[in-house]
Amino acid sequence: MSAAGELDEAAPLLGAPPSANMSDAADSLGKQIRTHAEPQGAWDPEGVQDRARLDESDFVTVTEDRNLKRGLHQRHVSLIAIAGAIGTGLFLGLGGSIERGGPLGALLGYATVGLIVCAVQFALGEVTALFPVTGSFVRHAEVLVDPALGFAIGYNLVYGNCLSIPAEITAICVLFQYWTDINSSLWIVIFIALTVAVGLCFIGIYGEVEFWFALLKIVFIVFLILLGLIIDLGAVSGTPRIGFRYWNHPGPFVEYIATGSWGKFLGYWAVMSNAVFSFAGTESLAMAAAETRNPRVAIPKACKRVFFRVATFYILAVLIVGMLVRSDDPRLDDGYGTAAQSPFVIAASAAGLNGVPSLVNAIVITSAWSSSNQALLSGTRVLYGLALKNQAPKIFLRTTPWGTPYLCTLFFGAFMFLAFMSLSDGALTVFWWLVDLTACGVLISWITVLTNHFRLMRAMKAQGLELKYSTPAALVMCVIILFTAGFPVFTKGNWSASDFISSYLDIPLVITAFVLWKIYKRTKIVKLVDIPLREALARAEEDIQPEPKQPGWRKVVGFLWD
């Protein structure tokens, strides 16, 4: 298969007709590159131009290529996204969604957000096929939209990850309290050390850790789905068949804030906010693109296939939970955040299966630690990318001999000690309030991914390649959800200044960072005709490597990631 064909397979354009695909783009523009010298910014395969110029380019720079190591394989990249998306949002958070929207409202909410995530993943994969750089969509924003947007989104992610990592470690401490009264400071120290150790290791070791954690979580969620189905059908001795009993009473929807059809719609809409945070993490799989082998093929393929696997797990889990647990069960909102809150545990306990709570608690602990590892990878690579573009101190470009940006890791390691705030109840309240401030950052990241893809498609049209795509619809939905995420505070009797700030503060923070960098650097929105598609497509033709054929047993075992 040709390089152009590999690129086409890796990232087929959403909704594009067969004649208007990436292969045609690569062939036609590649020929133009070879036959017409470009006076500005042309890719020079002979290496005549000054190679140092690439350190200011929009492609993989000399610094990345020299100092980072390509230790992530296709299977690592695919399961990193699954490991990040299947976590506390699935094992514990589904109960709150059922309570808020009812079984059908929750199912529709997760399905709606799943469609948005589909567009986000496809958009990320297609842009990464052209620009497989460290920092992913943060760096993409610089070349496709405006350098000021890359600066604003980059620091928004750095800020968010500085808080989310200690938050996950704090969650681990709470989960251990389900079993033991040992002082939480011990668990904090242990998991800070483990997280920093994984962050300082060779990227391939991180990939292996996340790979096996992802497999563990996949096996466990499949087990819980099958267990739930068995309980629902009455196959457990002494347990009556439940079926869709709870869809009839209390009912498929729950009225939220208002009454009647409007109240049921608000319940459904409130579920979508929870669903967004449950799916969070899938967009970070491309953060270490410059450390991935054959990234122009591996990452787009992972983006396409990971979505279907994650969406399947969530949709099936929501469906089963809605059949097992009443939406008005008070245990769904016990407020402790331990395994007792899991709807799977509630159903298993009712069926007399007493060993399930501890099993769920153990898996959720591994999920929380896996999430902290992924947040560390995402944060360090974004900070490294900012330093590459002179938007952060150059000291963060220092790497170990095995290619890890160790000063970036130590920077985030310092913020992990915020987890000790969990030892004080008052401080913990403030800490979780600060963590809530980063909640809409997920939607802002998705909006950035979709905006990058929208600009790429507009640029291809402006440069003679008209294509069809579904990004605008998903982009509009993300913006609507972003601005309505805190809608309860605007309803009568529900105003809360802290809830309003935690729901919307991230928006002015990003806007302020964008405006300040734009004024300071006098950046301009990139013209569509100036986006370097010719360089990118020509370089893609040269970079893509044919994938080796796998033996039969590898194809069977690797169905989750290949």
Q: What pLDDT, in 10s, does the model give residues 412-448?
A: 999 998 888 767 665 555 555 655 666 688 889 999 9
* Max avg pLDDT among 14-18, 89-93, 465-469: 89-93
CATH node for 9-36+69-491+498-560: 1.20.1740.10
What is the rounded distance in angstroms from the CA atom of residue 129 to the CA atom of residue 11? 7
pLDDT digits (tens, 9 = 90+) for 119-132: 898 899 889 888 88
Going from the C-alpha of 93 to that of each of 49, 189, 210, 213, 356, the distances in angstroms are: 54, 27, 21, 19, 17
Quick one: what percent of the chain has pLDDT higher than 70? 78
* Position 24 confidence tier, pLDDT thresholds 50, 70, 90: very low
Higher pLDDT, 12 or 111: 111
Residues contacting 188, CB < 8 A, separation 6+: 169, 170, 173, 419, 420, 422
**Which two three-digit tokens encode residue 322?**
């809605």
What is the rounded distance in angstroms from the CA atom of residue 324 to the CA atom of residue 369? 28
Choose among 55, 121, 130, 157: nearest CA to 377. Answer: 157
Comparing 154-163, 326-335, 522-531, the range with the smallest average pLDDT is: 326-335
- The C-alpha R_g of the chain, in whole angstroms, comes to 24
Average pLDDT over residues 173-193: 85
**Is the CB of residue 133 less than 8 Å from the CB of residue 290?**
yes
Residue 369 has pLDDT above 80, yes or no: yes
Q: Work out the angle at residue 523's Cα, subtended by the Cα atoms of residues 520 and 527, and round it to the nearest 5 degrees.
A: 175
Question: Chain-wide mean pLDDT for the chain?
Answer: 78
pLDDT of residue 429: 59
pTM: predicted TM-score of the whole model, two decimal places = 0.82
**Helix (H, G, I), strand (E, B), or coil: what is residue 386?**
helix
What's the residue count for the chain?
562
H helical segments located in 280-416: 295-324, 343-350, 356-388, 406-415
**Please, what's the largest Cα pairwise distance for the chain?**
79
* Position 338 confidence tier, pLDDT thresholds 50, 70, 90: low
**Is the CB of residue 246 less than 8 Å from the CB of residue 325?**
yes
Residue 227 has pLDDT above 50, yes or no: yes
What is the rounded distance in angstroms from the CA atom of residue 110 to the CA atom of residue 312? 11
* Position 557 confidence tier, pLDDT thresholds 50, 70, 90: low
pLDDT of residue 321: 87
**Helix (H, G, I), strand (E, B), or coil: what is residue 134?**
strand
**Is the CB of residue 90 less than 8 Å from the CB of residue 344?**
no
**Helix (H, G, I), strand (E, B), or coil: what is residue 293?**
coil
* Position 513 confidence tier, pLDDT thresholds 50, 70, 90: very high
First-to-final CA distance of the chain: 17
Choose among 129, 127, 126: nearest CA to 3. Answer: 129
* Position 77 confidence tier, pLDDT thresholds 50, 70, 90: confident
What is the rounded distance in angstroms from the CA atom of residue 112 to the CA atom of residue 268? 10
* Position 351 confidence tier, pLDDT thresholds 50, 70, 90: confident
The CB-based long-range contact list for 23-27 (8 Å cut-off, 24+ gap) reads 24/465, 25/460, 25/465, 25/533, 25/537, 26/537, 26/540, 26/541
**Helix (H, G, I), strand (E, B), or coil: what is residue 527?**
coil
Assign residue 135 a region (left: φ > 0; alpha: ψ between -120 and 50; beta: otherwise): left
* Max avg pLDDT among 13-17, 65-69, 145-149: 145-149
β-pair partners for 72: 292
pLDDT digits (tens, 9 = 90+) for 195-209: 999 999 988 898 888
pLDDT of residue 440: 80
Residue 173 has pLDDT above 70, yes or no: yes
Domain ranges of the chain: 9-36+69-491+498-560
pLDDT of residue 512: 94
Comparing 287-301, 457-471, 504-518, the range with the smallest average pLDDT is: 457-471
Task: Please tell me what DSSP assigns to residue 54.
Answer: G
Average pLDDT over residues 22-28: 38
* Position 335 confidence tier, pLDDT thresholds 50, 70, 90: low
- Residue 466 has φ and ψ, to the nearest 5°, of -85, 130
Helices 441-462 and 137-144, interaxial angle, to 10°? 40
Residue 516 has pLDDT above 90, yes or no: yes
